[in-house]
Amino acid sequence: MGMSGQPVISARARGSDLVMIAGTVNKMNYVLIGAPTIKKPEDLKGKRIGAAQAGTASYHAVLLGLKHWGLEARRDRITILQLGNQGARVASLQSGGSDAIIVNPGLGPALKERGNNIVADFTELPIPYPQQTVSVRERTLKTSPEFVENVMKGVVAGNSFSLDPRNKERVKQMLAKYLRLERVAQAEEHYQAALKVMVPKPYVDVAGINSMIEFITETDPLVAKVKPETVINHAILKKLDDSGFIDQWSKR
């Protein structure tokens, strides 16, 4: 199943046998959009930032971003609002309920046209983050290895298809369909943003797992006992890599 690294780590700390077998997105794929008066991270002091619910990837991204910029929510009187989906966040920014919001990069240009500012592009920040992983139970790896391997073949094939420039228009058409965009042309920013974070060989970034464990431990002491090697299993991905399967797709 696809999920961020956070629930896998938290579940593992409580006895679950969940394990990450691939890391399809190892960076935070977000942009921080500020109201016209918010132009740089320092301007966030005393302001309100709209994100999804606590515990979600976007909420974590805000906290990690603040830490990266030397800001602290309590000390700098920054309020993180739990607003739900991106539509709710955009509405809050436009109504003045939020001073800044975190959203997917594809929404950046449209919001900028309305007079807002792109305060930060998280794909460009040196913060490794397991935003999207393929995770399964260890018992499934043992009882149904062929099934899991076939799933991973599909993941690799899908990644390679999306990354191939020859498939750009088809990928944009799919993005427009599932994001419910009015025109295919509106999918361009979403497409470019995806290219920044997708990789042909989706290994989980160990540095990102270490960083996440350290970060989550600040509020969840149980996570301190989790080690990266216990939540990552690259056996199937490495098998596909060593066999040349991934390279074959990349060369098509």
Residue 190: pLDDT band with limits 50, 70, 90: confident
CATH 3.40.190.10 domain span(s) along the chain: 2-27+128-250, 31-124
Q: Is the pLDDT of residue 131 over 90?
A: no
Q: Is the pLDDT of residue 5 over 70?
A: yes
Which pLDDT value is given to residue 27? 87
Q: Is the pLDDT of residue 172 over 70?
A: yes
Which pLDDT value is given to residue 181? 85
Mean pLDDT of 85-99: 95
* CA atoms of 27 and 35, how far apart (whole Å): 25
Mean pLDDT of 99-108: 91
Lowest mean pLDDT among 29-38, 49-58, 139-148: 49-58
- For 202, the token pair is 């989706």
Which pLDDT value is given to residue 211? 86
Strand partners, 23: 133
Mean pLDDT of 71-95: 94
Nearest Cα to Cα of residue 27 among 157, 120, 149: 120
Other beta carbons less than 10 A from residue 212's beta carbon: 26
Residues 6+ apart with CB under 8 A from 229: none
Mean pLDDT of 40-68: 92
Buried b (16+ CB within 10 A) or exposed e, 28-58: bbbbbbbbeebeebebbeebbbbbbeeebbb
| CATH fold of 31-124 | D-Maltodextrin-Binding Protein; domain 2 (3.40.190)
Which pLDDT value is given to residue 248? 87
Which pLDDT value is given to residue 2? 81
Which pLDDT value is given to residue 251? 67
* CA atoms of 39 and 71, how far apart (whole Å): 15
Q: For the segment 15-41, what is each residue's pLDDT rounded down to a tens digit?
A: 999 999 999 998 888 999 999 999 999
Please report the DSSP string for 39-96 in residue order.
Answer: -SGGGGTT-EEEESSTTSHHHHHHHHHHHHTT--TTTTT-EEEE--SHHHHHHHHHHT
Q: Is the pLDDT of residue 252 over 70?
A: no
Please report the DSSP string for 193-229 in residue order.
Answer: HHHHH--SS----HHHHHHHHHHHHTT-GGGGG--HH
Domain spanning 2-27+128-250: CATH superfamily: Periplasmic binding protein-like II (3.40.190.10)
